[in-house]
Structure 1
Amino acid sequence: MEVPRAMTRRFVLALCALLVIPTFALAQDTSIPEHNRAELTEPPPRPGPGDVDERARRLVQAIAQDQPSLAHDFFLSREAFRAIKGIADPDGLYDRIFRMYEDDIHELHAQLGADASRAEFVRFEFSRRRAWVRLREESNRLPYWAQRHNWLVYRVGDEERRIEVRTMIAWDDRWYITHLSEFR
């Protein structure tokens, strides 16, 4: 069966609209940082730690006090997540991983038990497991630097302990958590 030329043309135009409109809407809604522009062909320099220690300190407080809201600014913002992810329902996925982050904080607090009130931040350690995530990898429409298997080091009394921070990504030149624990 032969498809009429007009139908083929309408299909191609509709397909182009699906590909172009989200990018156009993205440009209208969100300011895309230089380090995350879709047209990058080479990775920009990997961002330094910036204020990670300050936000990691608040994460330890959030865990110790069982108050996830103290560490909300260490998690990637909804707006940045929407800009990065090229999936049908980025808000649904965001809600899921944000809930996981808060649940992880509650679970870590429970694991500390009686030691919770004595937990003190020591340092944040970036691992060597890093990569430039290119356009279209991991269902994304913007590239970014990713850091995996990092460590939040804290102390209870004289004992140093560690919490793995599973995945962080850089939005512009600032690091954010997207998975505190393993994605489930």
Structure 2
Amino acid sequence: MRGLRWLLWLAPLLAIGCGDKSSAKNAPADAGQSAMVAKTADGGPEGGVAQAADAGEVDEMSAPPASGEELASRMRHLLEAIAQNNPDLASDAMFPRDAYIAAKDAPDPGKAWEKKVASAFRHSVERTHTRTKGASYAKFVSFELGKTISQTTPKKKDFKKPLWRVKHSKLTFSIEGKTHHLLIAEMTAWRGNWYVSRLR
């Protein structure tokens, strides 16, 4: 009789213990599923990356800003190249080769870039250094983008896509306290930035 009473008293406790183990076993799975559902709803890591990529896309239909630290920094490099008579110092200011290849309608756009952009740029840097008295002491003052910005019309043997272009941008510098100006013949935009496509 005592044994029967003992079993009757112990049975509810065993049932509670089993129930707790079952709940504990299912809890992580439910939490994991909830986390997965939450990530799916938010877009998850993949969705976040995609949104960031979309947000970083450049609006090619709008002209790039006329000023900014990034542009001013590259124009400083241009002045350094002229001051030191070393065109390589301003490679980031020159219209990029890959951009020219992608946009130019030519049998060999890479070769055309070397001749019409790179070679001409190097020659202009060297000539400007030679013709500017005291060029080695030049100090950057400011840069001002040209006033008249236009968009090119795609055509054969020229750019096959519309690009923004501006003429007569002004690079201001000083040499031993005297102010000088360099008018940049032509700048062309690519992926939201302005580059020198023709220096002089």
TM-score relative to the length of structure 2: 0.66
SS of the residue 1:139 aligns to: coil
**Which residue of 2 is the match for residue 108 of structure 1?**
128
- Of residues 158, 172, 176, the one that matches 1:157 is 176
Stretch moving more, 137-146 or 159-168: 137-146
Structure 1 residues 136 and 34, CA, compared in 2 at 3 Å: closer, same or farther?
farther
8 Å CA contact retained: 1:35, 1:171: no
SS of the residue 1:79 aligns to: helix
CA distance in 1, matches of 2:156, 2:104: 10
CA distance in 2, matches of 1:99, 1:60: 18
Aligned residues: 141
1:132 equivalent in alignment to 2:138: no
Could you list the per-position Cα deviations for residues 108-139 of structure 1 after superposition, in whole angstroms to 9, with x for gaps in the alignment?
111124x1232101111111121011322771
1:45 equivalent in alignment to 2:62: yes
1:99 equivalent in alignment to 2:119: yes
8 Å CA contact retained: 2:148, 2:167: yes
- Of residues 40, 43, 61, the one that matches 2:80 is 61
SS of the residue 1:45 aligns to: coil
Higher relative CO (Cα under 8 Å, sequence separation at least 6) belongs to 1
CA distance in 2, matches of 1:34, 1:154: 31
Provide structure 1 residue ranges, at least 5 long, that are not aligned to the other structure.
1-32, 37-43
Q: Percent identical across equivalent pairs?
A: 26
SS of the residue 2:154 aligns to: coil
CA distance in 2, matches of 1:35, 1:139: 22
CA distance in 2, matches of 1:163, 1:137: 32
- Once the two structures are TM-superposed, the CA of residue 140 in structure 1 deviates from its matched residue by 1.3
Could you list the per-position Cα deviations for residues 59-90 of structure 1 after superposition, in whole angstroms to 9, with x for gaps in the alignment?
11111111111001111111110011012221
Letter in 1 for 2:130: A
Structure 1 or 2, whichever has the larger Rg, is 2
Could you list the per-position Cα deviations for residues 148-177 of structure 1 after superposition, in whole angstroms to 9, with x for gaps in the alignment?
111111111221111111111111111111
8 Å CA contact retained: 1:120, 1:154: yes
